[in-house]
A and B are shown apart, each in its own frame.
Chain A
Amino acid sequence: VKLQESGPRLVKPSETLSLTCSVSDDSITTNFYWGWLRQPPGKTLEYIGTVYHAGQTFYNPSLSSRVTISVDSSRNQFSLNLQSVTAADTAKYYCVRFGDWWVVDFWGQGALVTVSS
């Protein structure tokens, strides 16, 4: 399974961060959950949210008011929108697949997104 993040790497404060994850060598409609994690420079990982191909979503409560994750099964992709960003949202964003027992068994290479004017 291969995952690849795409989208702008520089976002202005108060705007919306948008990333797309393209999945290859697997179908996004298989019985797995997909999602997003992030890692600010030099810090630990933070869970953002999860999506299932049928549209079911789960979000980190600390980000839920600003986050939307959606899936496009026809393109074998899923996307992240994070609204009203600040410098604190600067991080490497990873798209991931969740395996059995909710471990992350596949990772994208990560996309470093900087929030700056």
Chain B
Amino acid sequence: EVELTQSPGTLSGSLGERATLSCRASQSLNSKYLAWYRQQPGQAPRLLIFGASNRVTGIPDRFSGSGSGTEFTLTINRLEPEDFAMYYCQYYDYSVLTFGGGTKVEIK
């Protein structure tokens, strides 16, 4: 079973700064099935990135995903107020979805 470890657990940033979030897998992944979500307080998560690097229609281009194998990254350029939230990576394998533990992006 794949395990996803996200780091850092909490990232403190300022408006306009760049944030880099990591998702590390316990084994090499098929990038096609790696996704990222943002969850604002009290809301359901929202899909940002699929296939490791493909931005969902309507998601601002300040969000980008990259990576392969066991190391994946979500980059947020120019943090905006709505970006202070929880972020989760997710993988699908053998009919099971697995989520990482999450990274909280908070205002410095």
Residue positions of A touching B, CB distance < 8 A:
37, 44-47, 50, 58, 60-61, 94, 99-105, 107-110
Contact = CB atoms under 8 A, between A and B. Distances in A.
Given A44-B88, A107-B44, A102 B97 contact: yes
Contact of B44 (A101, A102, A109): A109
Contacts of A61: 96
Interface majority SS on B: helix, strand, loop or mixed? Answer: strand
- Chain B contact-residue range equals 20 to 34
B92 A45 contact: no
B50 interface: yes
Contacts of A102: 33, 92, 97
Contacts of A105: 47, 56
Q: Ordered nearest first, which 3 A-B pairs have the shortest CB separation? A: A102-B92, A107-B44, A47-B97
Contacts of B67: none
Nearest to B31: A101
Given A44-B100, A47-B97, A47-B99, A107 B45 contact: yes
B65 interface: no
B95 A101 contact: no
Contacts of A99: 47, 50
Q: Which of B35, B44, B50, B96 has the most CB of A within 10 A?
A: B44
Interface string B73-108: 000000000000000101010011111111000000
Contacts of B92: 101-103
Given A101-B50, A107-B46, 7 more contacts: A44-B88, A44-B99, A44-B101, A45-B90, A103-B35, A105-B47, A110-B44
7 contacts: A44-B102, A45-B99, A47-B97, A101-B35, A101-B50, A102-B92, A104-B90
Contact of A101 (B32, B46, B96, B102): B32
B96 A58 contact: yes
B47 A101 contact: no
Nearest to B56: A105
